[in-house]
Structure 1
Amino acid sequence: MNSGSVMNAKTENTEKIKFLISELKRLMPMQDKDRSRLDRKLRLEFNYNSNHMEGNTLTYGQTELVLFFDKVAGDAPLSDVEEMKAHDLALIQIEEMAKDDERPLTEQFIKELNEIILVRPYWKEAISPEGISTRKQIEIGKYKSTPNSVRLRSGEIHNYASPEETPTLMGELMEWYRENMNHLNPIHLAALFHYKFVCIHPFDDGNGRVSRLIMNYILFKNNLPPIIIKSKDKEKYLTALQKADVGDLEAIVSYIESQMIWSLELSIKAAKGQSIDEHGDVEKEIEMLRREKLTSSQIYKTPKVAYNLFNFMKGELWEPLEQTLSKFDDFFSEAKTYRYFNGIKVDKTRTIRSGILAFATREEIEKEYNIFEHDIAEDEVSSIQWTRQMLSLKSASKKVDIKIGLKIEFNESSYLLTIGESNSSGKVAHSFNVALIQKDNIYNKLIMTDEVENIIKTISNHVIEQIRLND
């Protein structure tokens, strides 16, 4: 189906969107207080999700602090803070430009957006057209001068438009936009411009963010709310783009329409003075408050503090990570998880002393602060560790083991979290061969939900890379 037929066709969402737009217009003008809270919500959601999808590590709460209070909480990387502020500036730019009828969308403005969001030139890991890992300098605000390629989940190398053909293709895209901007469905127009831009990938970096900014410029220009592609919905988004790659353009149009329905329904709620908080928003606010208010006080190590940290890390970080790692079990001959207390391997069961306690069950002698069958009120804890050992990679020509460990070292006023490839084997926990994640935090600074997602993604990608390297 060509782009013209898609844009003129009715989809299953067409009538619903038409009704929602009509309802929103009926409720206009919106009261100032309702407009303010809607703008705040959409600004936060767009900046957070568009950047998080590309690897920015700021949590939702940290993003809110940066955008609305100009504060930085926790150990947020300076580069990620700068990136978030720059992206917010670009959002403001497209909103202002959409209001100016004298300023048309141009290639120069698109280049300026790329320069704004990337801030300054830098070096980045890259893949050559032949699939070789390399590094390249990222030039900002300029079309690419070297090829940009990406390794697909299938392992294949996908090459975007070549540097030589990029200026011509971008010129043709802008001409296509000017020909269609005044008489075609604006949501379809925005969706297909976004897709065509991504196919070209004209810049060294920042193409996804710029494409989503321009998509929303087109929507703003047509008095529509912005599209928010949630980072948690990334798989569906990428699937829609992949379907479009093989000719199913309606897939990306339908996906963007579904996100517009969310934005319109949210806007209507705001216009009616109703709550626009979503499920989880209260938790996000509490997380932000915790970051802002509780990380300034000092807490020292006690059995209770250590035990609470252990329980939190076990449930919120290790168990989800172990569950993800277990998905690789089929690639290995054997997989086991080991636990270490103060560097010594812990058996699954402990022998109960003879005598009066010989008849007692484990539950009857369970202590209040029990970590790996050790009562830390009596046995001081200095470190704990889980190690997932994946033994003998089936596809390798030689014996290859991958051991992923998560270690917590308890210090007087802080703890050190390390996750990476572990050398631990047998009864003793040795040092890490490769530390992939390392965080030195005070005791009242815990790992947040978004950080857990990033950690699991980092570790999973490392295991995948190791399996590929040893084929």
Structure 2
Amino acid sequence: MLDIASTLQVLKNTSNGIYDDFKVKFLYHTNKIEGSTFSLPEIITLLKENFVSGDHSWNDVAETKNSLALFDYIVEDYQSPLTVFKLREYHQLLKQYTTDDEHGFAGVFKKIPNVIIGPSGKRIAVAQPHEVPEKMEYLLRKYNERQMTLQDMAEFHLEFETIHPFQDGNGRIGRFLLLKQCLACNQDPICIHSESAQAYRNALQLSRVGKSIEPLTEVFQSAQKNFNAEFPLIYDIRKNYEQEMRDIMATKKAVQQERTPERGI
């Protein structure tokens, strides 16, 4: 079956709209989880017409526009190893022209201690600024050395969000990394719906305190099922490609057999 990354790259260069449909929905949900006020139609208008409709803050406009470009970059760049430089590049792309960029926070690890507010409203401790470089080097080295399973992705995501390496934008960068990892490992994309944001946050916290990655893995599995239900044409294209390749190979084999002369005894 044609791998998911190649399928998206093919769809990106066709006019059927499936690629843009997935991109818009992925960005709508991941940004809405973080408080974006853009609706789906407003993101489509921004993508198609480069026009901002609706009433939004400057940061929301900049980050939404940046995320459109970052999505394309991730799809093109999915095979490259994830390094500290690459990670910071993604963050720079997401945060350029925002107030975080003005304050020197874009594309660099955090300089000021920050926290996560958990589902119950309690503060969750994360890595201190001076701990981030070493923790991120270790995290990237550990997972760059193997083909990742869905459980590996859940463990990576949990560790990344618990380190919280950037001043802001950790959730969105973390979910972009999930997209990159899914493409690299030929897994169905994980798109956390904004309606499932609370279940997602609860799963992160349950996995944090329960020392079991199962709650988060289940959320990811559910997200992959939603992807297949929402974009059946992508699955059909991949399966049809597989059948076409089998037909081509069968034809080649038949032609070769016809050309091979029979030998006498």
What's the TM-score, normalizing by structure 1?
0.45
CA offset digits 1:58-100 (Å, max 9, x no partner): 11211111112212223333432221110111111111111x5
Contact 1:138 1:205 survives alignment (8 Å): no
Contact 2:95 2:106 survives alignment (8 Å): yes
Equivalent residue number for residue 259 of structure 2: none
Structure 1 residues 123, 173: CA separation in 2 closer, same or farther (over 3 Å shift)? closer
For 1:292-441, what aligned pairs fall within 5 Å after superposition?
none
Structure with greater helix share of residues? 2
Aligned length: 232
For 2:136, the aligned partner's letter is: M
Aligned: 1:46 with 2:26: yes
For 1:67, the aligned partner's letter is: L
For 1:197, the aligned partner's letter is: F
Distance in 1 of aligned mates of 2:171 and 2:53: 27
Aligned-pair RMSD on alpha carbons?
2.8
1:176 to 129, 142, 146: 142
2:185 to 222, 227, 237: 222
Structure 1 residues 195, 162: CA separation in 2 closer, same or farther (over 3 Å shift)? same
1:156 to 118, 122, 127: 122
Deviation at 1:170, TM superposition (A): 0.3
Equivalent residue number for residue 261 of structure 1: 225
For 2:64, the aligned partner's letter is: M
For 1:90, the aligned partner's letter is: L
Structure 1 residues 155, 190: CA separation in 2 closer, same or farther (over 3 Å shift)? closer
> Any unmatched runs of 5+ in structure 2?
238-265
Deviation at 1:270, TM superposition (A): 4.5
Equivalent residue number for residue 243 of structure 1: 206
Deviation at 1:104, TM superposition (A): 1.7
- How high is the sequence identity, in percent, across the aligned residues? 26
**3-state DSSP class of the match of 1:164?**
helix
**3-state DSSP class of the match of 2:145?**
helix
For 1:176, the aligned partner's letter is: K
Structure 1 residues 200, 72: CA separation in 2 closer, same or farther (over 3 Å shift)? same
Distance in 2 of aligned mates of 1:82 and 1:253: 32
Structure 1 residues 152, 194: CA separation in 2 closer, same or farther (over 3 Å shift)? closer
CA offset digits 1:200-256 (Å, max 9, x no partner): 000000000000011110111123342111111111000110111111211111111
Structure 1 residues 78, 207: CA separation in 2 closer, same or farther (over 3 Å shift)? same
For 1:173, the aligned partner's letter is: L
Q: Higher relative CO (CA 8 A, sep ≥ 6), structure 1 or 2?
A: 2
Aligned: 1:83 with 2:63: yes
Structure 1 residues 217, 29: CA separation in 2 closer, same or farther (over 3 Å shift)? closer
For 1:51, the aligned partner's letter is: N
Runs (4+) of structure 1 moved beyond 6 Å? Answer: 28-31
Contact 1:34 1:271 survives alignment (8 Å): no
What's the TM-score, normalizing by structure 2?
0.78
Distance in 2 of aligned mates of 1:153 and 1:76: 26
Contact 1:160 1:200 survives alignment (8 Å): yes
Equivalent residue number for residue 116 of structure 1: 93
Contact 1:149 1:157 survives alignment (8 Å): yes
Distance in 1 of aligned mates of 2:117 and 2:157: 21
Contact 1:66 1:81 survives alignment (8 Å): no
Larger radius of gyration: 1
Contact 1:121 1:138 survives alignment (8 Å): no
